[in-house]
Amino acid sequence: MKIFLNDTLVDSTEAKISVFDHGLLYGDGIFEGIRLYNGCVFKLDAHLERLEYSAKAIMLKMPWSRQEIADAVCETCRANNLKDGYIRLVVTRGEGSLGLSIQNCKRPQLIIIADTIQLYPEEFYENGLSIITVPTRRCNPAALPPSVKSLNYLNNILAKIEAQHLGYHEAIMLNDQGYVAECTGDNVFIIHKGELITPAASAGALKGITRDTALEIADELGIPWREANMTRYDVWVADELFLTGTAAEIVPIVEVDARSIGNGKPGAITARFLESFRRRVSVEGTML
């Protein structure tokens, strides 16, 4: 497998970074997860824009232009003969010294991995998924804004561990006010009385690219949508519920905290979102 490292493709056995890289020492870096469908990179520009915003927020100056990174992403996919897959783009603060100061970190590192992806089984889309609310809260935006897609994922990993210990694949994370923020790697949407509602970024949600696509689909389907604070009660009594994410796409949720959502089967409106999403990924994207 070929990995893009800084400005060139190298064999995966040669793809190495320093143990003094602050990405490793402190989780000081940012990343993107991007999908390749049928030889086209889905929403590449939106992912690279979010990467730039994450970099700006953590004051990491990337020495590459958006076009250079886009070209590198496509080159990595081509070098690995991929038509469908998952692209992990990582930018670290680079090699520095022990200690938090970034002053010695002179050269950010760009890593692009393009590989096949372990997808959710099709039965999750057909039968829906059961999830649970876990105790670990989403980071307070005043501490580390969840809009920054940073290498600091311990918060989400703890929530994922809690869910998996109880036999669940995904978990709802609340913010420190007790409102629903998002899941460990997905955004949350409810449909109630014909309206689509999702937590705002200020409530601790990542500005998901799939989330934006779901909002575009809502416009296409003529379904009114808004961002709002959501309680667990709002989730429990929702008519339908679904999650969005680059890896997960659009997954129907049929049970939350042992309460059935709607009639306990994937909802009809959710099915229309999934259908439109799958149509979009088959016709949109940056060709390799």
List the catalytic residues.
149
Count Cβ atoms below 10 Å from residue 60 Cβ, excluding itself. Answer: 20
Can residue 145 be called a binding residue for ligand PMP (CB under 6 A)? no
Can residue 249 be called a binding residue for ligand PMP (CB under 6 A)? no
Give the shortest CB-242-to-ligand PMP separation in angstroms: 12
- Whether residue 12 contacts residue 22, with contact meaning beta carbons closer than 8 Å, is answered with no
Q: What is d(CA 217, CA 212) in angstroms, rounded to the nearest whole number?
A: 9
Can residue 156 be called a binding residue for ligand PMP (CB under 6 A)? yes
**Region near ligand PMP per CB under 6 A, out of 2-10, 205-213, 255-263, 265-273:** 205-213
Give the shortest CB-214-to-ligand PMP separation in angstroms: 9
- Token digits of residue 46: 């939106």
Element (H, E) at 50: helix 44-57
Can residue 72 be called a binding residue for ligand PMP (CB under 6 A)? no
Which of 206, 241, 251, 261 forms a contact with ligand PMP (CB under 6 A)?
206
Residue span 8-37 as binding mask against ligand PMP, x where in contact by CB under 6 A, dash where not? -------------------------x----
Q: What is d(CA 247, CA 226) in angstroms, rounded to the nearest whole number?
A: 24
Q: What is d(CA 241, CA 138) in angstroms, rounded to the nearest whole number?
A: 20
Q: Phi and psi of 287, rounded to 5°?
A: -70, 140
Please compute, for residue 192, the number of CA atoms within 13 A of its CA located in the half-sphere on the CB side: 15
- Whether residue 138 contacts residue 181, with contact meaning beta carbons closer than 8 Å, is answered with yes
Give the shortest CB-107-to-ligand PMP separation in angstroms: 26
Can residue 204 be called a binding residue for ligand PMP (CB under 6 A)? no
Give the shortest CB-95-to-ligand PMP separation in angstroms: 26
Q: What is d(CA 213, CA 138) in angstroms, rounded to the nearest whole number?
A: 23
Which of 133, 150, 175, 187 forms a contact with ligand PMP (CB under 6 A)?
187
Interface positions with ligand PMP (CB under 6 A): 33, 156, 182, 185-187, 206, 208-211, 244-246
